[in-house]
Each structure stands twice: as structure tokens, then as C-alpha cells.
Amino acid sequence: MAAEWERYMLNGKSILVTGGTGSFGQAFVRRILRDFPEVRRLAVFSRDESKQYEMQLRYPAHQYPGLRFLLGDVREIARVQRALEGVDIVIHAAALKQVPAAEYNPFEFIKTNVLGSQNLIDACFDCGVSVAVALSTDKAAAPANLYGATKLCADKLFVAANNMIGRRNLRFSVVRYGNVLGSRGSVVPLFLQMRNTGSVKITDPNMTRFSITLDKAVDMVLWAIANTFGGEILVPKIPSYRLLDLADAIAPNCKREFIGVRPGEKIHEEMIIPADSANTFDIGDFFAILPALAGVTTDGLRSKVNGKPVPDNFYYHSGANKYFLSVDELRGLIREHVDPDFQV
């Protein structure tokens, strides 16, 4: 159930989710409709007509009169401005995400992930939005591919936007997390599919990843809406897992085939690099990378959550984590969040 502070922050508000038909968007919509009936209006903004239709069937208008579906693309600022009329809170989840596609179609990713983010920022300035939270990715920390570079640019745009709010009651912040357990295109459904062939392909035996569920990602965004002062990049404290352990959890009797690291892929997921350590604070359940920008104060968040500076050259990546999921824990998460009928 929702906490009282969450209810207070969302009571009577109008919320819009860009990319609202994606994995996160659908989880966020599900949570709001389930736990926050006091939300006045919830708008799904995306360019995917088919997925919007499927969501409309799942959430019929007579049962969910406050739910709206808006077709549009963040590349088109006029449509974004129209969609944001009367909106109080924006969750920016729209992005192109496939790493190989980014390398082959670079400017398409720039138009959506970078220019689309700036369009949204400009529309927030013009339409009276009070809070805008962007979703980032581990690939934006020391990016090794174009997708990560575009998301780093988007992060920088959202952080810097706080320098231009003037007297507006408006905050921009960023939530950064890694691959979501069981999301489309991720390693769990891939291993589940491959185990039927008797062989599991693994890029590198040393590879690790962070583990976060969609529910935890939604929790984090709700926390950001209520608590950020603007300009923070929030990073969750979450467990890691080894790909070899995941293979043991899903397909213990299958052959292992090591195929090598793919272009633009990292051995470990990186969330905070040493260059950011001077501006990073431990705030309990999260780390906060605070903006190193003139005119942006960070004292508010630090005092509110009793933030403590991290050590010099602090480096937060999935290979050097205090908590690694065991094979049994991975199996439990797969049953809970991916496939309730999963059996070894």
C-alpha cells in the first residue's frame, strides 16, 4: 500500500508518462491505478498505437475515467506541449534503447533520446509542470556505446535545466538504474528461451549485473517525486548477480557456450564512476549524484535525508558489490517477477 506522504504528494495531481507503453510505463500505470485513486488524471504518452490499444482493453474507460492515452512522439515539440497542458508531474521514460540499433542508426537515437528530452524540458517550462523525473541507465556512466552517450546527454540536460527555472515551482531530477529483471530483451527471458536448446550462450564468465525489479524502479520514482530538490541523479543500492549463477539458476544441466563480449558491452554494470565521487552522497536506500553547477543548491536534499559524502574515488559497479544474489535467490525472483510457473 502507498505511504501517506506519497498520497499527499499525488493527491489531485495530473501525471503524464512518456513512453508509457514500455515495461516501466506499464508498471507505473498499474501502480498508480491500484494504489493512488486520488490521482486526478494519468496520461500515457507514446507512439505505439497497438500497445495503447492493448492497455485500453486492460483498463476500460468506465472503470478508469482518469486514464488517458495520447499518441505522440517526443521528437515533436508541438505535440509534447499540447500533451503537457494541465500536467503537474512528468515521468520521462521514452527512449530508444537497443545498443546495436544505436550503432547502426545513430542520429535516430540522438533525435529521440537527446532532442526529445530537450523538447520535454522546454515544454515543462511552458506548461506549468512542477516535477519532471527522467529515467536513466547504467550505460550513461562512462558510456561505451552511442546509446549510453545519448542517455548521458539526456541526464546532463535534465540536471542543467534546474539552472533555468527562474521563479517557477519546477524541479528536474534523474533516476538511474540498470537492467530490469525479466524486462523485454534482458538476459533472464533469453536464458529461459535458450535452455530449451540444451545450450546457454554466455558472453563472459566474469560478467556481473545489478538486479532491480520493476516494482523497485517504480518505488524509486515515487520517492524522487516527493523528495528531490532538483538536479540529483539518484542511484539505488541493489544486489548484483553473476551471469554464471544466473545460468545455474535457470539451466543447471545445459552446456555453457562462451561467445565473447559484444560491441559496446561492459563486463560489469557501472552506476557511479570515480569522477563523480566528489559530488556523490549516501542518502540511505540510494546514492545521490548532486549537480556540480553554479547556482544549483544541494544543501536541501543533503540536510533533509542526512546525506553523507562517499569516500574519494568511490566506484559503484556490479562487480564490487557487498551483496550478490545466490542461485536460490535468483530462482525466487524469477518465480516472483518473471514466470510464476518457473521450474528448474
**Mean pLDDT, residues 131-157:** 96
pLDDT(322) > 80:
yes
Q: pLDDT at position 228, please?
A: 86
Structural domains in the chain?
A: 4-178+212-238+270-317 (3.40.50.720)
**Mean pLDDT, residues 94-111:** 95
**Mean pLDDT, residues 266-273:** 95
Residue predicted with more confidence, 307 or 297: 307
Count CA atoms within 13 Å of residue 101 on its CB side.
Answer: 8
pLDDT(61) > 60:
yes
Residue 261, CA distances (Å) to 15, 206, 265 in order:
40, 10, 6
**Mean pLDDT, residues 294-319:** 76
Q: So which residues are the catalytic ones?
A: 139
pLDDT(60) > 50:
yes
Residue predicted with more confidence, 160 or 292: 160
**Mean pLDDT, residues 339-344:** 89
pLDDT(297) > 90:
no
Residue 115, CA distances (Å) to 70, 110, 145, 337 in order:
20, 6, 18, 34
pLDDT(298) > 70:
no
Q: pLDDT at position 265, please?
A: 87
- SS3 readout for the chain: CCCHHHHHHHCCCEEEEECCCCHHHHHHHHHHHHHCCCCCEEEEEECCHHHHHHHHHHCCCCCCCCEEEEECCCCCHHHHHHHCCCCCEEEECCCCCCHHHHHHCHHHHHHHHHHHHHHHHHHHHHHCCCEEEEEEEHHHCCCCCHHHHHHHHHHHHHHHHHHHCCCCCCEEEEEEECCECCCCCCHHHHHHHHHHHCEEEECCCCCEEECECHHHHHHHHHHHHHHCCCCCEEEECCCEEEHHHHHHHHCCCCEEEECCCCCCCCCCCEEECHHHHHHEEECCCEEEECCCCCCCCCHHHHHHCCCEECCCCCCEEHHHCCCECCHHHHHHHHHHHCCCCCCC
Q: pLDDT at position 82, please?
A: 97
Q: pLDDT at position 6, please?
A: 66
Q: For the stretch 245-261, what's the b/e string if a residue is b when 16 or more beta carbons lie within 10 angstroms of its beta carbon?
A: bbbbbbbeebeeeeeee
**Cell output for 165:** 527555472
pLDDT(193) > 60:
yes
Name the percent of the chain lying above pLDDT 70.
94
